[in-house]
Chains A and B, each alone.
Chain A
Amino acid sequence: AQRVTQPEKLLSVFKGAPVELKCNYSYSGSPELFWYVQYSRQRLQLLLRHISRESIKGFTADLNKGETSFHLKKPFAQEEDSAMYYCALSDSTGNQFYFGTGTSLTVIP
């Protein structure tokens, strides 16, 4: 069963414009949600996790249990934000992780 859905494979925004990367999930129980990022020629790395409620590089994500969403937002996109973004879900045990198919973000100068 598809647990994490990222509906946009590609997303382009202009520098300085707001950006939102969508993520919806399907899971019964209390999952933990993450956003991972992969910059060009770099490894996959954690951007943020919902439990820490941090803002990393200007990005925030709010867990909406009613809509089962965990959209990633940034008010003003920068060129260095261009990357592949993956939404991920961990089951309640932390044993398994499910990743979405990813959204490739391009910030146009």
Chain B
Amino acid sequence: SAVISQKPSRDICQRGTSLTIQCQVDSQVTMMFWYRQQPGQSLTLIATANQGSEATYESGFVIDKFPISRPNLTFSTLTVSNMSPEDSSIYLCSVDGTWPSTDTQYFGPGTRLTVL
């Protein structure tokens, strides 16, 4: 399985600001995903980060609020824009497979975001 790191591991932000979360994998992977876990809730997929093209967003999530980049097969960023307290969550990056095959999904250590 791939080794996944996320930065920052946690942050406390003011409402109206933006935060960019980084996800780095130690090997090339086929698929990268961003999930959100609000307090007391399960995981919800925000978007699939596609290498070299725009991310594919799930219903209820839009690019203006959660812009995503994936410049290569080992790295992706998620930005949480114009934050409000409702954005307080754990944000998780996950990967599926080592290029060019797919495998089960593994998760990064997560970023705990608190918006005041």
Q: Do A and B bind each other?
A: no
